[in-house]
Amino acid sequence: MARFWPEPEYTHGTAPTTGIVLVNLGTPSTPTAAGLRPYLKQFLSDPRVVEIPKLVWWPILNGIILNLRPAKSAEKYASIWTDEGSPLKAHTEKQAKLLAGYLHKAGQPDLRVAWAMRYGAPSIPDTLNALRAKGCTRILVLPLYPQYAASTTASVMDEIARCLTHWRNLPELRFVRNFHDHPAYIAALAQSVRDHWMENGQGDKLVMSFHGVPRRSLDLGDPYHCECYKTARLVAEALELPAERWQVTFQSRFGKAEWLQPYTEPTLEKLAHGGLKSVDLMCPGFVSDCLETLEEIAMECKSAFLGAGGERFHYIPCLNERHDWIQALETVALEHLGNWLTLAAPAESELAAAAGRAKELGAKQ
């Protein structure tokens, strides 16, 4: 549960301090059923994630899913857990620390860089409160979702708005909506593929798998589907791949409703049955390796492809802590910070003069 800290004392003339919050999806505290249950409840209770009327969904969630799914999911998390804990949490924390270091070298030592999870810990409210305690009056929120989706990016904004309803002295906010086609991000993705090819050779086809969302979201106007395809097209162009050498798929389907297609695992099986011998697979919708990449793709999808007759399956890791990715992250942040980097608090003499003018105006009235 989020803690609501007391408002820091306000002092006139204090120079504004700027904070950056990197936000990722989230992770359970432990790879156990006990650790999964509260995480899944928070995640699947978000109306942005499950767009089913609460009266219908809550009996299903609390009576069935939260009794059956935690143990099954725990086994999957246990298969990718590390000495540092959750890979997603470890990568996100490292990215925040590296970004702070890069910004310091770029001449911005006063920027405060923090990180949060939409579900789980550290929570968005706790992270925002920590920045407030450090005097941050300007906050750039940078969700680590390259492609915009209502179920991810918009949910972060929902949680920030909910948190700030408890604040009296609100910060100035800026929000990064997406960076799916940012040249620096595309360049980092393409270079990660080139580096993989240099070390492992080039497969017959490059599959770019994105996290799926219900097909209904596309029909209702969510741009996620289009942004995924634009990312993939730009990466393919950077790699000079002809159309027959790359393909987009969508993974992580949940429930019985139709989701964005084509689905990743059935597509890989179809490719293998059709005679494709080797495939390289990357996940350009994730900037950090996590359950969906390390277990679902690198284990389950690899097994499906090889089991269907494929001979070589290579998963290309997410950007994680690559130098070119942290540089891209720095570029995105600096572009959105804009004039915050040059704006300064008014000098005390200016404040005194303004106070004098206000007093004089009041006397005349």
Classify the C-alpha dihedral 247-248-251-253 as positive or negative: negative
Residue 2, both tokens = 């989020």
Classify the C-alpha dihedral 102-105-107-108 as positive or negative: positive
Round to whole Å and give the CA distance between 39 and 73. Answer: 11
* 173 strand-pairing partners: 139
Sheet with 278-282, side-by-side order of all strands: 246-251, 205-211, 278-282, 312-315
Do the annotations mark residue 292 as ligand-binding?
yes
Round to whole Å and give the CA distance between 145 and 25. Answer: 9
Round to whole Å and give the CA distance between 290 and 276. Answer: 27
Do the annotations mark residue 360 as ligand-binding?
no
End-to-end CA distance of the chain: 50
Q: What are phi and psi of 7, to 5 degrees?
A: -65, 130
Residues forming the annotated binding site for Fe(2+)? Answer: 211, 292
Residues forming the annotated binding site? Answer: 211, 292
